[in-house]
């Protein structure tokens, strides 16, 4: 059975070890045409409709933002039977937040069993952890190779979910004379965890896995958001980014309000690109993009 996951901070290995198939919701078939009520983020709106297209799949929502909570409520109230709301702690500096995350991973396990999954043994989970580690290592290599070109104005793309239907943004950047040297959207580089450190003797695999996700989630909903800024700062400098493209879904206040702070923290110009729908950006964005890149030459 497929389990659609709407956040990078829900351990895929845990789902697979239960004998179920995790799938990033970014890659699910989304309906780009449905009308959205005013004030609804296009991504959260698309997530709220996922169960209609895939009624037999499990869907894991998170409490990352109010919009996503509402998508989980809307799914439940419109008959979606397999939704689960994972409480992602907004804080990350306290042991209470870590405990909450551990408890949510355990609760997710019970939910997966309710979908027909089985309780994984230690070796089964370790196998899935190793498999994910290998996949992430592969992704890291691709991302590093992707940033080795030296043509075009180097720019960082920072923000929320960037769906396959929106990947033409990369072409638009290139056509305007830029190149993306850091993709800090979802499910881009920001969503790729670093390698799991060696486990302490006697440590349970599920605890090590939960701690790793908890310690390396880099997102805008965290308070304080210093982890996001530290992660970005290191990479913006290393890649020589000359500007930031802030990818913010319309009605996503969480990302939009970062524009001024990003400008100030990194002393770089920021262009806000609004994603109105789950389709691609329009001509207005292209023109603004062209002018922005021209100004950074
Ligand atoms: S883009 Fe913003 S509003 Fe939409 S789901 Fe993500 S954090 Fe929430």
Q: Is 65 in the pocket of ligand 1 (CB under 6 A)?
A: yes
The residues, ordered by sequence, that sit 6+ positions from 142 with a Cβ below 8 Å of its Cβ are none
Topology alike, domains 2-123 and 149-295: yes
Q: Where are the domains of the chain?
A: 2-123, 149-295
User: Tokens 């992704």 sit at which residue?
Assistant: 139
Q: Give the pLDDT band (50/70/90) at residue 286.
A: confident
Dihedral in degrees, nearest 10, Cα atoms 209, 213, 215, 218: 170
Q: Is 68 in the pocket of ligand 1 (CB under 6 A)?
A: yes
**pLDDT for res 166:** 86
Which protein residue has the closest C-alpha to ligand 1 atom 7?
65
Q: Is 254 in the pocket of ligand 1 (CB under 6 A)?
A: yes
Q: Give the pLDDT band (50/70/90) at residue 31.
A: low
Computed over every residue of the chain, the mean pLDDT equals 92
Dihedral in degrees, nearest 10, Cα atoms 33, 45, 48, 162: 90
- Let me know: does 217 contact 104? Beta carbons within 8 Å: no
**pLDDT for res 28:** 84
Task: Write out pLDDT tens, residues 131-171.
Answer: 999 999 999 888 777 655 678 999 999 999 998 888 889 99
Task: Write out pLDDT tens, residues 74-124.
Answer: 999 988 789 999 999 999 999 999 999 999 999 999 999 999 999 999 999
Give Cα separations from 25 to 41, 59, 191, 247 (angstroms): 15, 9, 13, 18
What's the rounded mean pLDDT across residues 205-227? 97
**pLDDT for res 212:** 98
Report the atom number in ligand 1 closest to the C-alpha of 255.
Answer: 2
Report the atom number in ligand 1 closest to the C-alpha of 65.
Answer: 8
d(CA 98, CA 210): 9
Task: Write out pLDDT tens, residues 258-272.
Answer: 999 999 999 999 999
> Under CATH, which number does the domain 2-123 receive?
3.40.50.11890
- Let me know: does 155 contact 179? Beta carbons within 8 Å: yes
Top pLDDT among 93 and 36 is at 93
Tell me the HSE value of 142 on the side-chain side, using a 13 A CA sphere: 10
**CATH fold label, 149-295:** Rossmann fold (3.40.50)
């Amino acid at each position: 059975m497929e389990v659609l996951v709407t956040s990078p901070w829900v351990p895929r290995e845990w789902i697979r070890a239960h004998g179920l198939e995790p799938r990033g919701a970014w890659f699910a078939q989304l309906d780009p045409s449905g009308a959205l009520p005013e004030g609804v983020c296009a991504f959260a709106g698309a997530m709220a409709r996922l169960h209609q297209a895939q009624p037999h799949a499990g869907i894991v929502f998170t409490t990352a933002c109010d919009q996503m909570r509402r998508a989980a409520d809307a799914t439940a109230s419109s008959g979606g039977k397999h939704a689960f709301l994972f409480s992602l702690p907004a804080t990350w500096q306290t042991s209470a937040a870590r405990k909450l995350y551990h408890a949510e991973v355990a609760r997710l396990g019970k939910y997966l069993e309710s979908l027909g999954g089985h309780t994984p043994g230690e070796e089964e989970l370790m196998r899935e952890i190793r498999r994910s580690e290998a996949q992430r290592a592969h992704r890291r290599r691709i991302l590093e190779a992707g940033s080795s070109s030296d043509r075009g104005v180097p720019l960082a793309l920072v923000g929320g979910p960037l769906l396959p239907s929106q990947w033409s943004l990369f072409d638009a950047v290139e056509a305007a004379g830029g190149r993306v040297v850091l993709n800090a959207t979802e499910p881009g580089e920001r969503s790729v965890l670093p390698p799991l450190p060696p486990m302490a003797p006697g440590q349970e695999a599920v605890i090590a896995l939960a701690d790793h996700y908890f310690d390396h989630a880099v997102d805008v909903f965290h308070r304080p958001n210093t982890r996001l800024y530290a992660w970005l700062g290191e990479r913006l400098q290393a890649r020589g980014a000359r500007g930031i493209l802030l990818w913010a879904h319309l009605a996503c206040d969480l990302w939009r309000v970062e524009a001024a702070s990003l400008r100030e923290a990194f002393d770089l110009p920021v262009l806000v690109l609004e994603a109105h729908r789950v389709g691609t950006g329009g001509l207005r964005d292209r023109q603004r993009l062209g002018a922005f890149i021209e100004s950074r030459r």
